[in-house]
Structure 1
């Protein structure tokens, strides 16, 4: 599991307890109030801290919400279930369970919508939510190679491009299924998706 501490401004040492309380309060406010009505003042009250404490850590609401959502996805882990297919199924189901949380749905959809008008916010989403989770692909590939399920990569640049593509395929499919189509990511769908991922279009006739 990867943990992420928001980058603060220079000054007094950060309080991990305050960070935890603030991020939890942000997610609570997202569920109860929605993006448009959420304010840093309300989050500060819920977290039991001064508003200045928030502004020392986050420049504004966008950055705060991204970090609050990122903390949820930091809990993702790649289970060792004995095979590449089983490992993929395990992490997909974990990912879908996180997306099913009201605070994850509200926060992720809100920051994605806002990021269409804000390049800095898009960059923060990439650095805080997307990039930290790519280790799951690298870990899964390395484990599968050690088992003899996958061949070694031909070079580091190719390996990086492949890992990025795999991540985009998995994350894109699960996010679309969960949040856009609003269809269940259950065991049956996950197994069919994993077969397609591993075997390509030749597996489509068996789905």
Structure 2
């Protein structure tokens, strides 16, 4: 996990073990208590740290919960499965497996709901979760280009917008399927989704 110590603060170096314990305790509290009843005091007790330790790291509950959820999505990997379609299927199945975890589901739904009236929280979600996970799209697209499955960038200036679009399509479809429609993301659905996405990618690259 990357160091998120706010700029300008000095003192002893942060403890990675304490950070990990705090974020794990936050996820545990989310599942057991829910967003409304979760407090930094309860998280501190569960993590075995002083409450002041949390406030030195996070300004409040919103920031803490976003980072606790972001750590789960940082587990996503994009192993080389030989083809772009197989790579997509693999990461979609990983993504849905994370969303199936109670701590991910509770945390993500909570912060998204809160962000509708909190611009700063929405920006933290974008930076800590969305932008960080776009790495998977960039990695998969570059790998497909190296294999010859996708052509090189015809217009490098449009690369960022294409990455944004692909990420939105994948994340939006999987989140809606799992958290809104409450339908399974099984092998059959993933194959059908990948076929549709691949068709769109081919058209976009023409």
Name the TM-score, length of structure 1 as normaliser: 0.94
**3-state SS of the aligned residue for 1:70?**
helix
Q: What's the counterpart of residue 157 of structure 1?
A: 157
**3-state SS of the aligned residue for 2:117?**
coil
**How many Å apart are 1:128 and its aligned residue?**
0.2
Distance 2:162 2:201 in 1: 18
Aligned residues: 200
Q: Runs of 5+ in structure 2 lacking a partner?
A: none
State whether residues 69 and 104 of structure 1, in contact with CA within 8 Å, keep that contact through their aligned partners in structure 2: yes
**How many Å apart are 1:15 and its aligned residue?**
0.5
1:190-201 matched pairs, under 5 angstroms: 190-200=190-200
Distance 1:186 1:4 in 2: 32
**How many Å apart are 1:157 and its aligned residue?**
1.9
**How many Å apart are 1:156 and its aligned residue?**
2.5
**3-state SS of the aligned residue for 1:134?**
helix
Q: What's the counterpart of residue 2 of structure 2?
A: 4
Instruction: Judge which range, 111-120 or 11-20, deviates more.
Output: 11-20
Distance 2:131 2:10 in 1: 25
1:1-207 matched pairs, under 5 angstroms: 3-8=1-6, 9-200=9-200
State whether residues 89 and 191 of structure 1, in contact with CA within 8 Å, keep that contact through their aligned partners in structure 2: yes
State whether residues 89 and 194 of structure 1, in contact with CA within 8 Å, keep that contact through their aligned partners in structure 2: yes
Q: Write out the 4+ residue segments of structure 1 that deviate beyond 6 Å after TM superposition.
A: none
State whether residues 30 and 106 of structure 1, in contact with CA within 8 Å, keep that contact through their aligned partners in structure 2: yes
Distance 1:6 1:40 in 2: 18
Q: Runs of 5+ in structure 1 lacking a partner?
A: 203-207
Per-residue Cα deviation, 1:51-82 (whole angstroms, up to 9, x for no partner): 00000000000000000000000000112110
Check 1:12–1:201 CA distance in 2 against 1; reply closer, same or farther (3 A cut). closer
Instruction: Judge which range, 148-157 or 163-172, deviates more.
Output: 148-157
